[in-house]
Amino acid sequence: MLDSRNLLSGKGRYLYGSILLLFISVICAAFSMTDSDDFDIARREVLLRRIGHELLLQSGDSTSRVLPVKKIAENEYQIRFENNLTFQSDSLVNTIRRLLAKDPLAGDYVVNVLNNSNSSVAYGYAISKNKKDDIIACIGRKQPKARYMINIKFKSTNTVKNEFLIGGLPFLAFVGFILLSSVKPHRALPDGQNTDIVTLGSILFDAKNRKLIINDKTLDLTGTETRILLIFALSPNEIIERSRLQKKIWEDEGVIVGRSLDMFISKLRKKLEPDPNINIIVVRGKGYKLEICS
């Protein structure tokens, strides 16, 4: 419709808000599934033990044990060994990367290899965006045999979730724009038609600006008069049921006033009087008709 109809109708605004709220709720619910997180964390600990096992094999040790993985802080774990071992930095990096690729929450992490005797860092590196950055430069060097501990600190899963949600805001805005466009037609008019000026006999009906132009004279129309006349203008010489007019004009606004329609019809008749070939007539028991005689 015109005027306030240029804004979202109550129903359209409700639909848009409901769909967007549902979309956000689904995302939040998906990232608050603690059962899934617990499963992934348990699976991570198994992968960490597998890392220790493969490093022992690369060191030539197929008999000693990998001690239970120890959680030393939030998102930080320690792999410990029963006996001494040696490792080559490149092999260690490739082994850890290959196995942690199976962990959906292990995108970014920091690895520090510590000497058990004095906790000094023998080798360290970080993985960010699947790229490696050496913290302790020992590329290609084989480390002496010693009792090592491997600390792996993962990026917080909450941070990952927040980044995903923040990253998803442009998408949500795009979805909102599409929904807004779909429920907010520009200058929406009855029966889904759009027009600016309609010719009614010798009268020009400017629905956009709510005016009647008669012999170079201009008559102003109210918003309700415009909406009623537009329904008639789009179906000239056809009977428009009274109930249809009431529904189109008032029901969407939440109220129907009994004699208001008759009052507006009467006002429109007077404004159309300059052209005797145009009249809004009553079809008893059915409704009204905009009669245009050629």
Could you report the per-residue pLDDT of 38-72, keeping only the tens digit for each?
777 778 888 999 999 999 999 999 899 999 999 89
Return the closest-CA partner of residue 221 out of 244, 243, 239, 205. Answer: 205
Supply the mean pLDDT for the chain.
Answer: 77
Q: Is 70 exposed, middle or buried (0-12, 13-18, 19+ CB in 10 A)?
A: middle
Return the closest-CA partner of residue 275 out of 219, 193, 223, 227. Answer: 219
Pair type for strands 197-200 and 203-206: antiparallel
Q: Domain boundaries in the chain?
A: 3-30+164-183, 34-155, 190-292
Could you report the per-residue pLDDT of 196-229, keeping only the tens digit for each?
688 888 899 999 899 999 888 999 999 889 989 9
Stated pTM of the model: 0.44
pLDDT attached to residue 242? 87
The confidence band for 186, taking pLDDT boundaries of 50, 70 and 90, is: very low
Dist CA 86 CA 78 (whole Å) = 17
The confidence band for 14, taking pLDDT boundaries of 50, 70 and 90, is: low
pLDDT attached to residue 280? 92
Residues 6+ apart with CB under 8 A from 192: 185
Q: Which residue has the tokens 């409901």?
A: 18
Domain 190-292: which CATH number of 1.10.150.20, 3.40.50.10090, 3.30.10.20, 1.10.10.10 = 1.10.10.10
Look at 171 and 113; give whichever has higher pLDDT. Answer: 113
State both tokens at 122: 């023998």
Percent of the chain with pLDDT over 70: 67
Could you report the per-residue pLDDT of 126-175, keeping only the tens digit for each?
888 777 776 655 555 678 889 999 999 988 766 555 555 566 556 656 65
Residues 6+ apart with CB under 8 A from 179: 15, 16, 19, 20
